Amino acid sequence: MLNILYFARLREAFGLEKELLPMPPTATVEGLLTQLRSRGGVWADALGAERRWRVAVNQEMAEIHTPLKSGDEIALFPPVTGG
């Protein structure tokens, strides 16, 4: 299973802070995104390839080709705006 977290604008758009999901057929960030986008609506919109989002795997910044393994924590969020 994967532990998925959503932050800031994405959390509000999805109305969801976190969820547990089984490993997608392709065990990468891209595989997970494909599965989430297939939900349509706000999911396809906010996670569309042309939209601006970032991903962290196990609390480290990652990218679409980053491989995933069972038990990983994947966080999806907008570009950061601290400081």
Partner 1 sequence: MSTLRVQFADFNIADELALVRANPCVGAVTSFVGLVRDMNEGSGVYSLTLEHYPAMTERALADIVREAESRWRILHTTVIHRVGELKPTDQIVLVLAASAHRGDAFAACEFIMDYLKTQAPFWKKEQTPSGSRWVEARDSDKAAAERW
55 in helix, strand or coil? strand
What does the block give as tokens for 1? 């299973």
Residue with tokens 């494909």: 34
Nearer to partner 1, 27 or 56 (CB): 56
Q: CB of residue 56 vs partner 1: minimum separation in angstroms?
A: 6
Give the residues lining the site for partner 1 (CB under 8 A). Answer: 5, 7-9, 52, 56, 59-61, 73, 75, 77-83
What are the Cα distances from residue 62, in Å, to 15, 40, 74, 75? 24, 24, 9, 10
Q: CB of residue 26 vs partner 1: minimum separation in angstroms?
A: 24
Q: CB of residue 8 vs partner 1: minimum separation in angstroms?
A: 4
